[in-house]
Structure 1
């Protein structure tokens, strides 16, 4: 696309956008009576306009049916979570049997580690990206300690080369190969939260398996953002939150993926609960855990129907878009436009005041751009917020901006960079 630095160009692209009508299906925060420029979907997605109705429907069922709501009504709660599985499977590139919705992200990560981190005196190491989101760091640290290992010896972090900001795939694979004899697990994010780098998950999984280790992924910043093919890539497991790009609400329900090749593996331990018991015999209340078939067998606790209702509202919107392909096409164009405008602004300023640290290759990023602000960074971030541009701040000087294709426009992007220019003048 030949970008142009003008409002007229932005409005023209919005008029041509096949997804333009989806913006109206979300509730956009207001700033002095007009829509704010919301570029923080990487932290919390916007509320679907239908969320209130989906929630009200289940509150009504609770009111009118009480406990019988588990078995009666238009949406009996016993299998309510299953209505979400086709949508989720499509988003993460899985078979329906390989996914389920449950708990929150780090809880799910720990539950999956019970199955997929099985260290012994020979194989005990975990490889992960340096600078991973703290929850992942804490989870890996506590898991290695739980098994009696020193995290400093058991956890191998991979950092970018000196003078570089992001990781090279060849360096990741090389590190995996170097530790192959001692490696139990490769645990990576799909997209690094800080830099916005999209990792080559297929290559990472292949290298892990070649080394005799499992491959798992935290898809908090990838699910609903970029196309995924977890089944085809051979990932062993993955988990994600759904309140970012999948708009399930603050602290919304999470999800997991377990590859079907592990369904009948008796060597995989798991923490069991009644909700993960095989469905045809669940109500017999028999002793001895007999897991449900598929990823559902990793469930522990009863599904939180009200949280599922909010998530279902968003999944209905995803279903109507036609899939991740069309969302990705707009995302690449929208994020590319923001990159273009920021570079144009730097040219006008005569220096790279706003340095983008996210990879320039669209195939190595999602919709997020992480921007180092070299002048008065916190003051500029505050200026943006005061003028209706909602982004995300990361210490010491990074502003994260994420134009989400479901509800952001080219005009949003244009206005945001205009405010960045105004902030410098101030």
Structure 2
């Protein structure tokens, strides 16, 4: 669990921000590459890997299963090995760890115990555990479908066809697909239920599986992964584009200009949706291979209506920008973020209301009506993106004190340093 720290005084901007930012690697890509490398007979090397609480928990989970992971800065090496038991996995508050590791652990011969932070015990796991049971894996969870649970592997998983409802998280699909090549029959996975959120993350999983040599077929709510050996080699991890949200948003909030270096021209990362979203909110957006992605504020911020189902991790920062706009905003497609690190919809409404704002939950999202805001304590609920959201708002609202800033260690441990440096150089 993240250690509590004293509140952080979010710095207010004294003028337009002008900065060039380099971000660490993508958490989503780092953790997927670690799992795929664990299945590769020759291991693999990750360059540009993210070193954060979530990725360190993933590396520790692999080591606990007997798979070697060596770290040298942002270059990580996964050594060849087979998962072994008994073992214990600390998931922390990482959805990746709690959903990607159990299918891998099912290949070990013996018990593997899973647990995590207190709030992790409320995050949806039932559909994944049910799917593993359908594939013949014995799991003890007292019927709760939540952490903690113990998985009893037998050294192999037969594979086959499974049906689950992944409407609460695309990670429930990705977790099974990433290990499917090592199952005897592979996996044919069918989703039945409301739409699966975060489609770009599923595209990332499929693309990375194919890059590792897996045969993957996709259809409407169906994925087929054939059995077969995965190759190792080198994974080059892209910068984490979701963690760019608050930096690029700073350009809109202050009427300045921010560039994020090394932004890929084409990517499956959901953060790439920032190009369109920030442009619709009033920014001027440009990309070049030499510079990266640049957002320039124009002095106005427009409210928008946007379906964020494909990029829900952007919702908190966008909500803060919307609170400073010239008209109301409505964000939809994000009911599932009630089950993320915290109930993110309730948290956003509570904190904006506390500071004088007007925000309202809807069945699948938020409505935000701009009004004058005041400073005060901004609670973050052990949620890294609430810290980043508070910092964004603090640029324009003096006196915001951010609770427990250390929780950013989940995905971007250097956030407050990067943020302060961006403002000092402006």
Q: Bin the TM-score by the shorter chain.
A: under 0.3
* TM-score relative to the length of structure 2: 0.27
* TM-score relative to the length of structure 1: 0.27
Higher RCO, Cα 8 Å, sep 6+:
1
Who wins on radius of gyration, i.e. which is larger?
A: 1
Q: Which one has a larger percent helix, Structure 1 or Structure 2?
A: 1
